[in-house]
Amino acid sequence: MRIKINIDFSKPKPAITKHSLPSAVYINMEQQFKASLTGTEGPVTGMIRPTTFGGYEKAYQFDSIDDTLHLIIALDQDGTWQKVAGTEPYLFGWVDEMVEQIPKLHA
């Protein structure tokens, strides 16, 4: 397989700034924290951070350090936290575990 790549060095590229990135891409390091979820073979360590997802006002994302687990939970209209996206398999208790840890963000 051959891939052709054309690179034009004659045009300067604008600098990437906080304001030029979509809000879902920009991550303020102060708005995330280390967390752990209980896996079938032991703890799964990762980071929880606020995110945007669909039309939900409150959503949080967990990404494991080893990049094997991704989970997004959101608060629905009834005030119940639900899994709205993520990898499978998935353990139902992870939603509750994430919700218990979210106050660390605001401590």
Residue-level pLDDT, tens digit, the chain, 107 residues: 455 555 555 544 444 344 434 444 444 555 899 999 999 999 999 999 999 999 999 999 999 999 999 999 999 999 999 999 999 988 989 999 999 999 887 76
- Residue 67 counted as domain residue: yes
Residue 83 to residue 90: CA distance in whole angstroms? 9
Residue 96 to residue 56: CA distance in whole angstroms? 18
- Residue 22 counted as domain residue: no
Q: Residues 48, 98: contact at Cβ < 8 Å?
A: yes
Residue 80 to residue 68: CA distance in whole angstroms? 26
Residue 38 to residue 93: CA distance in whole angstroms? 8
- Residue 16 counted as domain residue: no
Number of structural domains in the chain:
1
Strands 59-64 and 42-50: antiparallel
